[in-house]
Structure 1
Amino acid sequence: MNGTYSPYITFTEKEWSKLRSVTPFPLTKEEVENFRGINDKLSVREVSNIYLPLSRLLNLYVKASQMLFKGTHDFLGKQGSKVPYIIGIAGSVGVGKSTTARVIQALLSRWPEHPRVDLVTTDGFLYPKHVLEEKGLMHRKGFPESYDTKYLIDFLTAVKSGDPHVNAPLYSHVLYDRVPDEYTHISQPDILILEGINVLQQMQNFETPQLSVSDFFDFSIYVDADESDIFRWYVERFKIFCQTSFQNPDSYFHRYASLSEEEATNIATNIWKDINQKNLHENILPTRYRADLILRKGQDHGVEKIRMKQL
């Protein structure tokens, strides 16, 4: 562990793995394989050494939050609707946030104190494609201004208020758009995981103070890696998409289906430099140290270092 003064305690994989204590491994090899994203290298070892101790830590936090909720309502002498514990997961495009979110969801749902764990991505809160086109924001998709932030804040307000009937809009990566009139129904889960690239960003309008998405988080995680590695993973994933999902005639990116490997590499590189790299530097990376925990990945896509904010 790092001995210098820092708001974070730093662990190597070996040090962190010991913190799982006697927590049993609840997943099968097949389940772990199903959690992998495109071009991800998730292994049973990584789930056991990294994510299982993390689930134990989060279990402690959730139980403490549940006790505080009950104690507060006993103090006030009133009954209250169950309020979900909300976990935010942030990080760059292509870094593996979705895989991390799925693994954490699966592990947390195995704990008896909080079996109902829902997962929502912020993709569904992007403005519909026709709105982005009207606003001239298609080239800025994924930047903060491309999200219907009011819609997202209203959603989180309802969830955190204990509303038993809340809908989260669905997003299709094939259509590259929100799916009209289709939703994920959220009904007072024990835990809600919200995953998205900009979820840790704060509102910048100081003249009119507003709530930020992160104000609703009880715990936040940032998935981190060297930019050169993220760029390489992004290009590799794009080339895989060219041979798989882009082959679908309904895909928004079907025009890339017949690219040569060299052409795919060049286009992915340009998209990265023109959009994703700018978004990373301007909006995503500056929020890294707002997270309660940082998962730092190495060149092989596996987590090799963990930074946990001290209480």
Structure 2
Amino acid sequence: MTLQQAVDRAGLLLGRGRRLLGIAGAPGAGKSVLAEALVAALGPRAVLVAMDGFHLDDRVLRAHGSWERKGAPETFDADGYLALLQRLRTADRPVYAPLFDRGSEQSVAGAIEVGPEIELVVTEGNYLLLDREPWSQVAGLLDECWFLAPPEDVRTARLVERHRRHGRSEDGARDRASGPDQRNAELVLPTAARADWRLAVADLGAATGPG
């Protein structure tokens, strides 16, 4: 499978009114880079709205005692994400979505404008296919959902590199990748069975990276 074939498949969703395409996968699978590549290739008819924009703020996580688990299903505003997907399916005026800033590790409200002319919304995240309420409602709002599944050693190496880029020591990066990230991955990997299409990162070559 090449990137162009993935672009071609996504392109089949164009020209049929507003459509939503999901890209799921475990932490480090390459979801965000693949999603960005698809949107870049499809041009102004497509936009990326990621699940990560619904991370709960660090102050909320600390108040709940869940900051160390940041990235787990319960550390997102899942209901808010569902509400946004529902609006994106039906709105006839601009919808504004949040963006997750990886530099600050915080969400920025209203950072992405989705105008009524947009034909394809690409959304990516770990839990799009999770069979747990309220996440189990996400798949029903998507026209297709793909699952990106790299070899586990590739995925883990990418996670370590991501954490190092964002300021963790080598040991700290490995602890995060093998600890909270791995626990989240073990939740996500079995959800591949619910996907419409499963992709291997090796098939997409340089098109994929941490995500």
TM class, shorter-chain normalised?
0.7 to 0.9
Among residues 275, 278, 290, which one is paired with 2:194 in the alignment? 290
CA distance in 2, matches of 1:301, 1:186: 27
Q: How does 1:167-206 map to 2 (within 5 A)?
A: 167-179=96-108, 181-188=109-116, 189-204=118-133
Among residues 151, 173, 176, which one is paired with 1:268 in the alignment? 173
- The CA deviation at 1:56 is 2.1
Give the TM-score, by structure 1 length: 0.61
CA distance in 2, matches of 1:238, 1:203: 28
Asked if 1 retains the 8 angstrom alpha-carbon contact of 2:13 and 2:19, the reply is no
Aligned to 1:134, the other structure's residue is in SS state helix
- The CA deviation at 1:216 is 0.9
Q: How does 1:1-311 map to 2 (within 5 A)?
A: 13=1, 50-63=2-15, 66=16, 83-109=17-43, 115-179=44-108, 181-188=109-116, 189-204=118-133, 212-239=137-164, 241=165, 246=167, 256=168, 264-282=169-187, 284-298=188-202, 302=205
- One-letter amino acid of the structure 1 residue matched with residue 127 of structure 2: N
- Of structures 1 and 2, the one with the larger relative CO (CA 8 A, separation 6+) is 2
Return 5+ residue gaps in structure 1 as ranges.
1-12, 14-49, 67-82, 110-114, 247-255, 257-263, 304-311
Asked if 2 retains the 8 angstrom alpha-carbon contact of 1:95 and 1:224, the reply is yes
- The CA deviation at 1:191 is 0.4
- One-letter amino acid of the structure 1 residue matched with residue 115 of structure 2: S
Change over 3 Å in CA distance of 1:237–1:126 after alignment to 2: closer
- Identity score, percent: 27
- The CA deviation at 1:237 is 3.4
CA distance in 2, matches of 1:238, 1:178: 18
Change over 3 Å in CA distance of 1:149–1:163 after alignment to 2: farther
Asked if 2 retains the 8 angstrom alpha-carbon contact of 1:222 and 1:291, the reply is yes
Equivalent pairs, count: 205
CA distance in 1, matches of 2:175, 2:136: 34
CA deviations 1:209-259 (Å, max 9, x no partner) are x861121111111111122221122223333x1xxx54xxxxxxxxx4xxx
Aligned to 1:89, the other structure's residue is in SS state strand
- One-letter amino acid of the structure 2 residue matched with residue 52 of structure 1: Q
Asked if 2 retains the 8 angstrom alpha-carbon contact of 1:95 and 1:230, the reply is yes
Q: Which moved more, 1:181-190 or 1:131-140?
A: 181-190
Aligned to 1:92, the other structure's residue is in SS state coil
CA deviations 1:130-167 (Å, max 9, x no partner) are 11111111122111111111111111111111341211
CA distance in 2, matches of 1:89, 1:122: 10
CA distance in 2, matches of 1:301, 1:56: 13
CA distance in 2, matches of 1:143, 1:126: 10
Asked if 2 retains the 8 angstrom alpha-carbon contact of 1:202 and 1:213, the reply is no
Who wins on radius of gyration, i.e. which is larger? 1
- The CA deviation at 1:275 is 0.4
Asked if 2 retains the 8 angstrom alpha-carbon contact of 1:84 and 1:162, the reply is no
CA distance in 2, matches of 1:183, 1:54: 27
CA distance in 1, matches of 2:150, 2:49: 23
Asked if 2 retains the 8 angstrom alpha-carbon contact of 1:202 and 1:214, the reply is no
Give the RMSD, CA atoms, in angstroms.
2.3
